[in-house]
Chain A
Amino acid sequence: MRSSVHPKTTARVAGLLVATGLSGAVEAGQVEGQIVLPANFQPAAEESKSYWRVENGVVPVQKGLRDPRGLMVVMLEGEEKRLTPPTVHPAMVLREVGLWPAVLPVVAGTTVDFKNEDGMEHALLARGAEAGSFKAQPLAPGGQRSHAFRALGAHEIRCAAVAHIRAVVLSLATPLFSAVNEAGGFRVDGVAPGRYSLRVWYAGSYVHGQPIDVPAEGPVSVAVHLLPR
């Protein structure tokens, strides 16, 4: 997976934001933008692991029920700040035999609540750095469990009962981040003036990075053009 800073980022931002209808909402201390995918972008989830995956031959196959940009995270990395986990716990929800959202960015040390709103029992567990402290435990329908993710990086959450259930808690060393919606838009609030590095995380790795300057006054709008995967 390659990443690059688009050379004409600044020039394109204004027109792009106008086109997406996001430009009017930008305020001082905010970094807002849009992720643009290339035409031949291959989502990570497109690779089938089954024996067969055949098009129906009658109607065209839809691109996907979820845009891959909905699985991306944008973050700003700048001067070191003391990380303060939020007092309100973000949540991941088990529903319709899936775990939502598929990617949850948090500040390192944040406690995440896992709620089972499905009709069946699940048993969530973490792989990687948090595997030792987040082991599989039965989680009955309507139940909840919480876990503080202190280690930095991506923590894959799986279900021991239903093998295909997977989601990621992305523990970051910066409070300046935003999940990207399926239209590709993102917004980071509370950004102090200064120079930052904007990075985009997708499917286990960083796929884009570019420097941005946040002025003392006025909004910042960026357009992020990803390279083909």
Chain B
Amino acid sequence: MLLSRVWFLLCCLFGALAMVMLLAVARTGVLDAIREQERRVLAAQDVAHLWLRGDSRVLMDTMATLSKDARLQEALDQFARTRAAQASADADLVHRNIADRIAGFAKQIQADVLIVVDAGGKVAARAGPGEKTYADGLIGYPLVRDALRGYLGDDSWEIEGKLYRMAAAPVIWRGPDRIVGAILVGRIVDDAFAKKMQKWVGTDIAFLVRDRVIAASTTSSAVFAVPSKLGELGPSLEQHGRSNPVVVQGGGQRYTAAVGTVRGDTGAAVLYAVMLPRPDDDGLGAILGWYDRDAISMGQPPWALLAAWIGVILIGLALIWWEHVWPLRKLVRASRALAAGDAAKLEDRKFRGSFAAIARSINEGVERAARGSPLAPRSLAAILDRVPTPGAGMPAFRELRASPKVPPAPPAVPLPPPAVPAPPPAVPTAPPPVPPGPPLPPSSATIVGVPGRRPEDLEAEMQRVYRDFLETKRRLGEPPDTVGFEKFAGRLRASREQLVQRMGAKGVRFEVYVKDGRAAVKATPDRA
């Protein structure tokens, strides 16, 4: 019993521990994957920064090359002079010359915007949006101011709702050396630009101007959730120009995103976000989904663990069989033997624990029932002890009579008339009536033991009684008794002697009769 309980306890503990460990391992895997993904996003953020920096450098170097164009230098110098002279017709002519020149440049370098300004920051010509307009001032742009001071640089401009990556270089007149203007190029930041950048960065990328998404390499609606994070990312972006990874969600998709500023004089107004689809990390299903098939292939630790688990279960089942099933079967067999009369009682020594207690309880119950109920034991000795006697004071039955539950003697027991001088050697008597149950065949023998007879006769009578007893049992279908004749005869003699001594009888008659459907022997003192 104890071992089974301990096994159950250990089994539960082991199972719970195993479950917790498996989930913890899986959860650890999930967290590792998320951390790894966040590292990837941060790495992509670095790559995006470098790519934008490199792209700006390419644009800037291109402008440095174009700024060396002698015709452009001369035209710009003329443009400034004509404007200073307020010769609008001449300025218009120079503007058209410059416009034609830079139109070819724009095609050559595939620029979306190409602008040339004079030394005062006034537009001499444009290629791209607003190319019909000129002489407007752009000196407010830090990029233009810096170029006119002699710097090559880059910036981000928003023109008519579109974002452009800009680069500028001063245009230097070489005789004598002086800055006569600047040339600026712009590449539009659109979805095509984002997809081109995605190939280099390795993650999806989106561009934002303030809280508006203007270009993205993905069509996922999660992109439009990025602006909602800018409030919490603002301080980090202002201070460091980049953010830590955050989770953005939209349209049922979750992304891990890191935001960075596109450097320029726009401050934190122009941003890019690198994004990777975030692994599902919520719920048991998500955790179990992270188990790798290779991790549960044959020969891997999980199978050894499973085999150990099955072994533990088998041990537990064996303990259950040893402690419960087998003793129970043994008890069932013993109980059947008891019920069939093959055993007088259950041998409680053969059982353990609760089963021994059950056996003892059954034995006690049987004994109590035997003392107080009409059910008699089936052993011959008990039968002999329980033979009812018509007379009181028979020593052989005193104990039984003293019990209030001892049933009265069968009323049909005939007492021999006292006037009978001498009992015949074998007087057949009518069989005693069977109180309950269906009628049975009558008892076949009545044996009379007469004192004074020769021992040989007495022995012969006892053998007849014994044979009749066995025959009656056989007819009643009772199992054969294992009591031998000597023991049977010994008990008869003892009863006879007790009756003779206590009742002064001269002899004792033994009768085999049927009581409650079973064979029994009745002793009747003979006073004649």
Contacts and interface: CB of A to CB of B under 8 A. Distances in A.
A146 B141 CA distance: 24
A25 interface: no
Nearest to B210: A160
Interface string A66-99: 0000000000000000000000000000011111
Contacts of B133: 119
B507 interface: no
Contacts of A64: 149
Contact of A61 (B151, B169, B265, B269): B151
A98 B140 contact: yes
Contacts of B264: 49-51, 164
Interface of B: 52-53, 56-57, 60, 64, 121, 133, 136-143, 145-146, 148-156, 158, 167, 169-170, 172, 174, 177-179, 209-210, 263-267, 269-270
A60 B179 CA distance: 10
Contacts of A50: 56, 143, 153-155, 263-265
A163 B179 CA distance: 27
B136 A59 contact: no
Interface string A36-62: 000000000100111111111011111
A51 B263 contact: yes
User: A50, A95, A162, A164: which has the most chain B beta carbons within 10 Å?
Assistant: A50
A50 B149 CA distance: 16
Nearest to B152: A54
Secondary structure of the B contact surface, majority rule:
mixed
A206 B130 CA distance: 43
Contacts, number: 112
Contacts of A49: 263-265, 267
A52 B137 contact: no
Contacts of B178: 59
A162 B155 CA distance: 12
B129 to A, nearest CB: 11
Nearest to A59: B177
Interface string A164-190: 110000000000000000000000000
Given A48-B146, A119-B136, 7 more contacts: A52-B152, A52-B167, A53-B151, A62-B179, A95-B140, A163-B210, A163-B266
Interface of A: 45, 48-56, 58-65, 95-99, 119, 160-165
Given A52-B57, A163-B269, A62 B149 contact: yes
A130 to B, nearest CB: 19
5 contacts: A51-B56, A52-B152, A64-B149, A98-B140, A164-B264
Contacts of B174: 58
Contacts of A54: 60, 151-153
A51 B52 CA distance: 8
Given A48-B153, A50-B143, A50-B264, A58 B177 contact: yes
Nearest to A100: B140
A105 B133 CA distance: 35
Contact of B172 (A58, A62, A160, A165): A58
